[in-house]
Structure 1
Amino acid sequence: MTSGEFLSLSVELTLGMVIISVALAFFRLFRGPSLPDRVVALDMMTVAIVAFCGAAAVLYEQVAFLDVGLVLALVGFLATAALARYAERRRLRKEEEKEQP
């Protein structure tokens, strides 16, 4: 087996494992049970899709996939931060409602 064949096989296996991880994260996103679980699942899906873009860039020898992965990582970070802030405010609002008679 040559190094090119080994690299191709490794990247194809990587793409398959990333697809499986996205499917599992989607299941957790759909199933829940709580908002923090869904936020973590969404963040995991973002990270897995960024990994998919990196592996696709190696497999197809296209640097454009790296740009897509970089933009997706930045958007995913902002989305996760916004959802975490929303979850925290929601928790504080519920605690305030419990304290009031």
Structure 2
Amino acid sequence: MEMDLKDHEVTAEILKALGHPVRLCITKGLIEKGRCNVSYMEECLEVSQSGVSQHLSKLKNAGIVKGYRTGNEIYYEVISKPAQQIINALYGED
């Protein structure tokens, strides 16, 4: 069976984006809890607001999360099915 590396590019990009403990934790937390804002993540992760925002930016650029504005707040959620599948495979969840 011949393998085309292009078939694995999306997965590799998602794995790169998830390859930091904070981004992994953000993604797993958003899958478990649903939409959250930066303030909530900052408290849960004990990471500065700017730190959380930088990690969210990388996750957004990778197409893993999307932000939704509600008034003055932006709530984030995981929109990538492959990222959800990876997290579920890593943590044994459905």
Which structure's residues are more often helix, by fraction? 1
Is the TM-score greater than 0.5? Answer: no
TM range (shorter): 0.3 to 0.5
Which structure features the higher share of strand residues?
2
User: Based on CA coordinates, which of the two structures has the bigger radius of gyration?
Assistant: 1
Higher relative contact order (CA 8 A, sep 6+): 2
